[in-house]
Amino acid sequence: PHVTRREDYTPPDWQVPEIALDFSLDAAATLVRATLHVVRDSAHDRPLVLDGGGQTPLSVKVDGVAVNDWRIENDALVVPLSGTDHVVETEVEIAPDRNTQLMGLYASGGNLCTQCEAEGFRRITFFPDRPDVLSIYKVRMTADKKRYPVLLANGDPVAQGDAPDGRHWAEWHDPYPKPCYLFALVAGDLVANTTTFTTRSGREVSLGIWVRAADLPKTAHALAALQTSMTWDEQVYGREYDLDVFNIVAVDDFNFGAMENKGLNIFNSRYILADADTATDYDFDAIAAVVAHEYFHNWSGNRVTCRDWFQLSLKEGFTVFRDQGFSADQGSAAVKRIEDVRGLRAAQFPEDAGPLAHPIRPDEYQEISNFYTATIYNKGAEVIRMIATILGPERFRAGSDLYFDRFDGTAATCEDFVASMEEASGEDLSQFRLWYSQAGTPRLTATLRQDAGGSRATLTLSQRVPVTPGQPVKQPMVLPIKLKLFGADTATTLAPERLVLLDGPSEQLVFDGVTERPILSINRGFSAPVVVETDRSADDLAFLSAHDDDPFARYEAMQQLMLDTLVQAAATGQADHKAVIAAVAHTLDDAALDPAFVAEAVLLPSDNFIGDQMALVDPEAIFRAREALRRDLGKALDVRWRAAYASTQADAFVYSPAAKGLRRLKTVALGYIAASGACDAAALAFKQFEAADNMTDRQGALGVLVAGDSAERVAALDIFYNRYSDNALVLDKWFQTQALSPRDDTLEQVQTLSRHRDFTLANPNRARALISAFAVNQRAFNAASGEGYRFVADQLIALDKLNPQTAAKLLPPLGRWRRFAEERATRMRAELERIVATPGLSKDMFEQASKSLG
């Protein structure tokens, strides 16, 4: 396989300052004429090489004259040119309706749309498909007027008109130079929810969210989120929008969440469409976050783009950090931080500890699509967050202003970003740069000792960065650790919060005036993305879960208390649940706490996260331990769960942080009532299911019922299916809920569901709803028979033939074989070997599967 290496970067041989694209659109056969103004970039005699995606040019012209001395090499069009400045014109034909990969120009729901990041533009036309070639785009589209009444592209609309044979045309110009991965067009039968936004310098921008007519009522939330995002970016980062038009189009078939094409974002419809009946609070929140994320890319990604794809985290890590800040400002910042850390631990920590571990700025790749990972996005955001923590808000903002001003209109690097932060703040980030080059989650050990008889305590901190593939030796990182000491007797502050920058292998901190037994609160706010190991007792963790004034640390103490109990139970079969029960009771009794926080704090760690703490994962033992604790918590606190359940009932659906928190706690309480084995639990859940005026309550109740074994379970699944059988996004929930069920027969149910008439691998959302959800279900996926592995491998092999990118993203769970005892490990490896040996395997899957075999 061909490997692209970061160290091999060289600037482009040819620049393309302008391009004119003329599309004659048709689902079966689209003609693309591209006119490129090409300029030799330095003194060299190399030909013009334009990347391609398997198409053959119908014609090639240089300076208006047809030429035939071109050749195709590795799909690229090679054109010998003698001078330094030419106009090169190519014509190609492509077939959007046969494009199942959903990269380039493709058909979705009868409309035509594009996806070009990372390397889809080459499947549309011949072009230097690399992010450091920036061009001004002029686009003309002609299409059947009835079938495609709406024609959209990047930038601003400049002209439109009718053409012969029932066709019409439109022209769009984008004045900002951009890399081709930001190109987009849409042709379709769509309607828009529109409004205007006036930027702080007075530019009036037309905003439009384009969907099928029937979906128009579900666009209000996304449109409001867009307006809020535009204001937030002006206020928090001083960034204004820069065109007269900002359009978003929702499509049903999409490989990812959304795409930030300049002035024409294209979204997976699941991140646009919402109303109370069909979308959960989680969906509403995700829509606002993704709308914000894509909008924020207009600066962090579009105005300043990436020099090469190794710099992907430059735009993605920074933009995730920005969207996290936005979401935190819209509701509970504490709950948002807890959710983000939970997501990081679920997706990124395992990646960092497995065969696909890579630094946030990778050194090499075979297929760049495989690097749109939790590491690039979420760890990347944590790295930016650490810079913000070290610098403080004012200096961080100064660094961000300098970065945007200095690199506006250019393709930059992670180094440019860090250097801007350094220059604006005066802070030396030399050693901090290791976060960009070293993979692996650092482990921080903290031991606090009170000197015998004295009033002094010593905290010893030490760090270790684990070995990862290709990186056998690691340097100590800079870890910004927020910590504080509480007094065990008085529950007062013994040492106020301070930020420690641990930059060596270990360090000792001495605290004076420690007159009572100190309790350590560490990594407050999750100030560094590390695993913390301490020897804090169950009593100390219970103390912190009740008294810590940092909400994240408080949540974390409870999680650690639960984890310690569950890991011991899974390893030994024995457990004392008393401490957890008392801590949960205390949290439920604390009327001052936000219900949204309570709901997070009382949830047990997932099976997967418990497994991540163990030397070898025993899925059955973990499942038993967790179910036993759930049952005991349910039984012991029955009165409290029922009180919480009663107190969280609402009259009518409102989408607000407070109402969301109550709904969350309501379903968590219902889950514990059911876990206790109470005989009225199914009836209670079914009542919630039937009475619900919103999807959060309805799906919450369905999840509780699906986990059990009752007549209500069967009824609810039927009712849900029949009610929503024509709504693809809600049917995804129906598939997903069943795939996540903890029942003994989930594997068989999922196998049956894969043959359901509504199941298809052609739609990425549907494929993910069943396959990804099933792979997260630790016990079902890791069935001792190996059937779970075989099922997933079969699905991935089939999906690879249609959509390699989506297939490859679903592979990592099979690569976790080193974490299991021999029998399961052997079966997983056998499936990976079967995948690698599949004839015609894509390079996407080959890279993931072969690296996973390690």
Q: Please tell me the distance from the alpha carbon of residue 221 to that of residue 224, in angstroms, as a whole number.
A: 5
Q: Please tell me the distance from the alpha carbon of residue 84 to that of residue 691, in angstroms, as a whole number.
A: 72
CB of 268 to ligand HT7, least distance (A): 8
Choose the one of Zn ion, ligand HT7, none that binds residue 847, judging by a C-beta under 5 to 8 angstroms depending on kind. Answer: none
Nearer to ligand HT7, 372 or 641 (CB): 372
Choose the one of Zn ion, ligand HT7, none that binds residue 552, judging by a C-beta under 5 to 8 angstroms depending on kind. Answer: none
Q: Please tell me the distance from the alpha carbon of residue 137 to that of residue 228, in angstroms, as a whole number.
A: 29
Residue nearest ligand HT7 by beta-carbon distance: 256
CB of 266 to ligand HT7, least distance (A): 8
Do the Cβ atoms of 118 and 305 come closer than 8 Å?
A: no
Nearer to ligand HT7, 540 or 844 (CB): 844
CB of 804 to ligand HT7, least distance (A): 11
Name the site residues for ligand HT7 (rule: CB under 6 A): 115, 117-118, 255-256, 258-260, 293-294, 297, 316, 369, 372, 805
CA dihedral 556, 561, 564, 569 (to 10 degrees): -130
Nearer to ligand HT7, 340 or 548 (CB): 340
Phi, psi torsion values for 293, nearest 5 degrees: -55, -50
Tokens of 441: 């989650």
Nearest to 800 by CA among 738, 847, 755, 754: 847
Q: Please tell me which residue in 89, 294, 351, 382 is annotated as part of the active site.
A: 294
CB of 297 to Zn ion, least distance (A): 6
Q: What x-and-dash track marks residues 309-338 binding Zn ion by CB under 5 A?
A: -------x--x-------------------
Do the Cβ atoms of 682 and 710 come closer than 8 Å?
A: yes
CB of 315 to Zn ion, least distance (A): 6
Do the Cβ atoms of 378 and 342 come closer than 8 Å?
A: no
Nearer to ligand HT7, 382 or 618 (CB): 382
What are 4-9's contacts with CB under 8 Å, separation 24+? Answer: 4/309, 4/364, 4/365, 4/366, 4/368, 5/363, 5/364, 6/308, 6/310, 6/361, 6/362, 6/363, 6/364, 7/363, 9/307, 9/308, 9/310
What type of residue is 19?
I
Nearer to ligand HT7, 86 or 315 (CB): 315
Q: Please tell me the distance from the alpha carbon of residue 433 to that of residue 422, in angstroms, as a whole number.
A: 11
Tokens of 780: 């079902």
How many CA atoms within 13 Å lie on the side-chain side of 787? 12
Nearer to ligand HT7, 102 or 553 (CB): 102
Question: Which ranges in 440-577 belong to alpha helices (H)?
Answer: 538-547, 551-572
CA distances, 779 to each of 50, 283, 669, 754 (Å): 49, 26, 23, 19
Question: Which ranges in 238-353 belong to alpha helices (H)?
Answer: 281-296, 312-330, 333-343, 349-352
**294 included as an active-site residue:** yes
Do the Cβ atoms of 258 and 265 come closer than 8 Å?
A: yes
What is the spatial order of strands in the sheet that 111-115 belongs to? 104-108, 111-115, 185-188, 150-153
Do the Cβ atoms of 100 and 799 come closer than 8 Å?
A: no
Stretch (H or E) spanning 463 = strand 456-464
CB of 372 to Zn ion, least distance (A): 9
CB of 259 to ligand HT7, least distance (A): 4
Q: Please tell me the distance from the alpha carbon of residue 260 to that of residue 283, in angstroms, as a whole number.
A: 19
CB of 258 to ligand HT7, least distance (A): 6
Question: Which ranges in 648-777 belong to alpha helices (H)?
Answer: 657-675, 681-691, 695-707, 711-724, 728-739, 746-753, 764-767, 773-776
CB of 106 to ligand HT7, least distance (A): 12
Q: Active-site positions?
A: 294
- Binding stretches for Zn ion (CB under 5 A): 316, 319
